[in-house]
Structure 1
Amino acid sequence: MDIMKDIANKYVDRRSFLRAGALGTFGLAAAAVIGCGDDDSSSSSSPASSSSAPQAAKATHLTFGKGSLGETMNPNLASRRSVEWAACYENVCTTYQGPDGPYLKPYLATSWEVDPKDSSWVFNLRDSEWSDGKKLTADDVGFTIQYAANPENKSRLISRVNTFESYEVIDDKTIRFRTKKPDATWANRMSLAFIQPRHIYEDATKGPNEQAVRPVGSGPYIITNYVKDALIEGVESPSSWKGNVGIKSWKMNVIKEHTTRVAAFETGDVDWIDTVPLQEVERVKAMAGVQIQSSTPYGTAGYHLSGWQSEGIPTNDVRVRKAYNLATDIDTIGNSIYSGFFASAKGQPTVTDVLGHEPNISDYGYDPDAARQLMKDAGMPNGFKQKYDTHSLNSEAVPMATAVAGYLDEIGVKSELATIDISTWRDGLYGRAPRTPIFANTWHSTSMFDAGFCFTWYLSDNAAKYYGNPEFDQNYADSLTEFDPAARAEVYKKNVKLLHDDAVGLFVVDTSRFMAWRPEIIPSYEIREDPQLILHETVLA
């Protein structure tokens, strides 16, 4: 059975059809480059410029395309750092990638320190103002973290702030955070939370639901138009201390269908897009006046294998989970579906550059005969039937799931594969609903954060029940109290080995995203991950 050939034929035909339809929708001849905010005709039909000609004014508007998200402006509804949230809100501090590696940079906070008496963290804040005119205070900062940490609020940030115990407002511009135990990573955690206005959340006529559609923020931009899953527009905030370096207004088109997004870029309807489908990378590279580049790896694509979710599931047996790994040719999947752009995963959920990655551990290798023997040892020589859910967040997700189902079929595991909508997938991801024994996921583990941020998924008290190992939990707790990064990495590596030995997942490739843009519009775009585009720091031509 040629698994990869069958998949390639199916999905290449579909992409060709979608591309033709998308180009027909957007048109092959754009009258103007919308993202430039300039209605002048192309340079080929304009007279040559002379030294005495006036300099063209810099563009101040950017139209760009995003492949996902856009479903809410409430940052408690997902654990990410999206472009639109970074435009509307502030973090206490933020992460950047420097020549010597990632580092934290002040944002709303001007400085911070650890109190040696009790290992609490004290942050000094700058003057900032909400877009409705009210002053942002230290109490807003404390409220944001407390709200996210409270299970009753069902914030998807809860695992990111799971060491929070309490906060103390020293004055309007100074706040102290106390954690359950000393937490060496607390400042990094603060870079993940977008500060929210307490007065809006506690207003009975507004609350979090109002914040999701008509947000009050303190960031560089004000949201002027929000249409769920379609578009978001913003203009510069007159009250922001941060300001911007050129973009005064912007429009984000949410274009979830991947080929349609590329078509919108090709026709000039947008001047920057994220997540270029890998099958389209070479075609986009060949477009005139276009630059395309991938980010650093931001996570590992693959599957959770249920072993701790509920009783009576075949994957509760570690031999079955290991058989899944041995039956799957991840190198072939990487070369075929991912076009060889991404490295195969190394048998762990953390990418190579993350503090705590274990270089001495690799994948299980491809050995179908050994997989069949493990199935036999587990008392399931003839296999079984299973349900198998995947998302479609990127163009590779469904083909990869189809390939894995084909490999598992060869050891007797018959899969009922279903592509589920994003909301249903997230409910399973966060443990709000049951999920199938094999369940698609991407473990976010950028070099900006330690392995411990990924490991929160595997703690025994995580609502999703991905793992249950007291030794793992204790190692995690020990890592938090270790302020020396090198020593903390060694503790993390112990947990990598536990996850590998218990085969908690089927880790396929270390993924990144390809972004494409027009240098004539954005002359000095810096590739980064989460958020991929920092609007207030982006200069237009």
Structure 2
Amino acid sequence: MKRKWFAGIMPKVAAAMLISAGLNSAQGKDLVIAQGIDVPGFDIHNHSTTAVEAVFVNLFDYLIMRDGKGELQPALATSWEQVSDTAMRFKLREGVLFHDGQELKAEDVKFSIERPALDKGLMQNSFYNTIKEVEVVNDREVIVHTKEPDPILLNRLSRIGSGIVPKHYVDKVGWTGFATKPIGTGPFRFVEWKRDDRVVMEAFDKHWRGRPAWDRLIHRTIPEDSTRVGELLSGGIDIATNIPSQDVERVKASGKAVTKPWPSFRVMTLFANMKEGSPLADPRVREAVDLAIDEKALIDTAMSGLGIPVRGAVAPGLSAVPMDLHNTSLYDPDKAVKLLAAAGYGPGQLSLKLQGPSGRYALDVEMMEVIAVMLETVGIKVEIEALEWSAYQSRVWEPNKIEGLALIGHSNSLQDGFHAVQRARCGYEFSKKTSWCDKRFDELVNLSAVTVDPKKRDEYLSEAFHRLTDSRSILFLFQVQNIIGINKAVDWEPSPDEQLWMFDAKPASN
């Protein structure tokens, strides 16, 4: 009888031990996440990559934060009110501590928000330069003054670039020191950064929301898709971003992890070098390239059907974007050949370089390979240059050294149409990369930034979107539909802003 009971109970005991082991490695009190890229440093005002903010969001808090449904919720600010057309009052949460134990005060908020608003040399400046000043009323209250009415001020203050930092610490170590050893008020505190390898954080016991469920949060950098998947299945990591669609069944069959659709506001694009002397300065050539790309076939071939063709940076869930540009394509290879001939290029007479990152996006190199085949079909020779993300940023993207076409994916942390187009204004980041400049476009975008009437604002942005699309300075490919892999011992749901907010992650109940 005892032997029978022992034989019956042992499989259950073994299963329980395995579950416990899974929690101790997945929870273990360590939660390990892998992305394709590393952070460039921890200067929260001087970067522009969503995958970087996905790390930062665990270290820093905003005045306001979006929940999993995209709704604005109180964070470091407990309430806010519009006190005039150009002023909004924020009451700050009491008892919030920075990771060094110092208490958050209004001066820290003023310091943190005015820097990206006033320093034109920072990457985040164009998102915050509507702000004129932050007035300190007392230690627990500030008023944010804008130059003109700002219909999306709350969007700005709940996104990348508006994390609150301790003024006293930056005054002591400078931004160079801060960029390697940051301090915030987030649920995790900084421990270590091994460049191109990992960022290690530990739970902040005195966080105002309470203690996270995990002792340590580790963000690993693993550019290769296959390696990330292998690490997920071996238990080396608990969450893997950008799972290739062809690996979904492999993950499912493992019994150790699951895949989940990861809805995204991200749109994949090609930036065109329109500088004088470039073949792409000719609008006929740009249109030919646009018409040669079959977005639906690109999605089906490279992405296993995960994506929606677009002709603008539009996606459901974004405000003030023209959805007539969503789920549409102008594919016409015959017309592309005629346009090339009209521009003076016969078959094989035009050569273009296609540059892009390797490991930043799911199947990014495969995307470029499929695009190259499509362009070669209409007679354009293509040279592909795929670079690791940091090399791509430093050699091609940030120095504005696009040689022909450059692949990039842009998300929308403002979750508004203004974000999608504002950097294409003359002299701004996208304009510098493409050399496209359109005064009417600038006027429309600028009007949208100060117009509080939603209908009128939609009209301005719709015209701006269509002018940008028609310029073909940026060729829009498809809205991304990502896949994320999650260890079964972890209970967490991804959100379309692509943030890896791990305060909400819990050990799975069994």
TM range (shorter): 0.7 to 0.9
**Aligned residue number for residue 365 of structure 2:** 398
C-alpha displacement at 1:136, in angstroms? 2.1
Within 5 Å, give how 1:232-247 maps onto structure 2: 232-247=199-214
C-alpha displacement at 1:194, in angstroms? 1.4
Kindly provide the CA deviation profile for residues 417-474 of structure 1, in whole angstroms up to 9, marking residues without a partner as x: 211232343347765332223111112136x611111112211130442431111111
The one of 300, 304, 308 aligned to 1:343:
308
C-alpha displacement at 1:47, in angstroms? 5.7
**Aligned residue number for residue 320 of structure 1:** 285
**Aligned residue number for residue 4 of structure 2:** none
Residues of 1 paired with 2:442 and 2:368: CA distance? 31
Residues of 2 paired with 1:291 and 1:259: CA distance? 16
**Aligned residue number for residue 422 of structure 2:** 456
User: Which amino acid is 1:325 matched to?
Assistant: D
**Aligned residue number for residue 7 of structure 2:** none
Residues of 2 paired with 1:48 and 1:397: CA distance? 40
**Aligned residue number for residue 275 of structure 1:** 242
C-alpha displacement at 1:391, in angstroms? 0.8
**Aligned residue number for residue 167 of structure 2:** 198
The one of 52, 58, 67 aligned to 1:87:
58
Question: Does 2:381 match 1:414?
Answer: yes
Within 5 Å, give how 1:354-369 maps onto structure 2: 354-361=318-325, 363-369=328-334
**Aligned residue number for residue 129 of structure 1:** 97
Unpaired runs of at least 5, structure 2: 1-9, 17-22
**Aligned residue number for residue 149 of structure 1:** 117
Check the 8 A contact 1:61/1:247 in 2, yes or no. Answer: yes
Q: Secondary structure in 1 aligned to 2:110? A: helix
Q: Secondary structure in 2 aligned to 1:419? A: strand
Residues of 2 paired with 1:506 and 1:528: CA distance? 26
Q: 1:254 to 1:430 in 2, by over 3 A?
A: closer
Q: Secondary structure in 1 aligned to 2:208? A: coil
Check the 8 A contact 2:258/2:487 in 1, yes or no. Answer: yes
Q: 1:227 to 1:530 in 2, by over 3 A?
A: farther
User: Which amino acid is 2:244 matched to?
Assistant: P
Question: Does 2:485 match 1:510?
Answer: no
C-alpha displacement at 1:333, in angstroms? 1.0
Q: Secondary structure in 2 aligned to 1:63? A: strand
Residues of 2 paired with 1:296 and 1:474: CA distance? 32
Residues of 1 paired with 2:331 and 2:498: CA distance? 36
User: Which amino acid is 1:166 matched to?
Assistant: E
The one of 186, 193, 213 aligned to 1:226:
193
Q: 1:418 to 1:352 in 2, by over 3 A?
A: same
Check the 8 A contact 1:231/1:252 in 2, yes or no. Answer: yes
Check the 8 A contact 1:432/1:464 in 2, yes or no. Answer: no
User: Which amino acid is 1:270 matched to?
Assistant: I
Q: 1:424 to 1:254 in 2, by over 3 A?
A: closer
**Aligned residue number for residue 493 of structure 2:** 526
Question: Does 2:81 match 1:113?
Answer: yes
Residues of 2 paired with 1:225 and 1:443: CA distance? 29
Question: Does 2:44 match 1:75?
Answer: yes
Structure 1 stretches of 4+ moved >6 Å: none
Residues of 2 paired with 1:424 and 1:255: CA distance? 15
More strand by share: 2
Check the 8 A contact 2:357/2:386 in 1, yes or no. Answer: yes
C-alpha displacement at 1:288, in angstroms? 0.8
Residues of 1 paired with 2:11 and 2:450: CA distance? 63
Residues of 2 paired with 1:64 and 1:89: CA distance? 18
The one of 211, 217, 225 aligned to 2:178:
211
The one of 425, 433, 441 aligned to 1:472:
441
Residues of 2 paired with 1:531 and 1:416: CA distance? 31
Check the 8 A contact 1:350/1:445 in 2, yes or no. Answer: no
C-alpha displacement at 1:65, in angstroms? 2.4
Check the 8 A contact 1:476/1:492 in 2, yes or no. Answer: yes
Check the 8 A contact 1:83/1:530 in 2, yes or no. Answer: no
User: Which amino acid is 1:390 matched to?
Assistant: G
Residues of 2 paired with 1:65 and 1:440: CA distance? 22
Kindly provide the CA deviation profile for residues 406-427 of structure 1, in whole angstroms up to 9, marking residues without a partner as x: 2222333322321123234334
User: Which amino acid is 1:426 matched to?
Assistant: Q
Q: Secondary structure in 1 aligned to 2:255? A: coil
Check the 8 A contact 1:131/1:217 in 2, yes or no. Answer: yes
Check the 8 A contact 2:97/2:206 in 1, yes or no. Answer: yes
Question: What's the RMSD between the two structures over aligned residues?
Answer: 2.6
C-alpha displacement at 1:292, in angstroms? 1.2
Q: 1:48 to 1:459 in 2, by over 3 A?
A: closer
Unpaired runs of at least 5, structure 1: 1-42, 50-55
Residues of 2 paired with 1:179 and 1:432: CA distance? 31
C-alpha displacement at 1:342, in angstroms? 1.5
User: Which amino acid is 1:319 matched to?
Assistant: R
Q: 1:432 to 1:149 in 2, by over 3 A?
A: farther
Q: 1:143 to 1:381 in 2, by over 3 A?
A: farther
Within 5 Å, give how 1:439-450 maps onto structure 2: 439-445=406-412, 449-450=415-416
**Aligned residue number for residue 72 of structure 2:** 104
Residues of 1 paired with 2:14 and 2:384: CA distance? 59
**Aligned residue number for residue 175 of structure 1:** 142
Stretch moving more, 387-396 or 242-251: 242-251
User: Which amino acid is 2:365 matched to?
Assistant: V
Q: Secondary structure in 2 aligned to 1:88? A: coil
Kindly provide the CA deviation profile for residues 293-337 of structure 1, in whole angstroms up to 9, marking residues without a partner as x: 112222111211233xx3222212222111111111221111010
Kindly provide the CA deviation profile for residues 454-508 of structure 1, in whole angstroms up to 9, marking residues without a partner as x: 1122111304424311111111122122334454333221112112221222222
Question: Does 2:355 match 1:389?
Answer: yes
Residues of 2 paired with 1:45 and 1:360: CA distance? 56
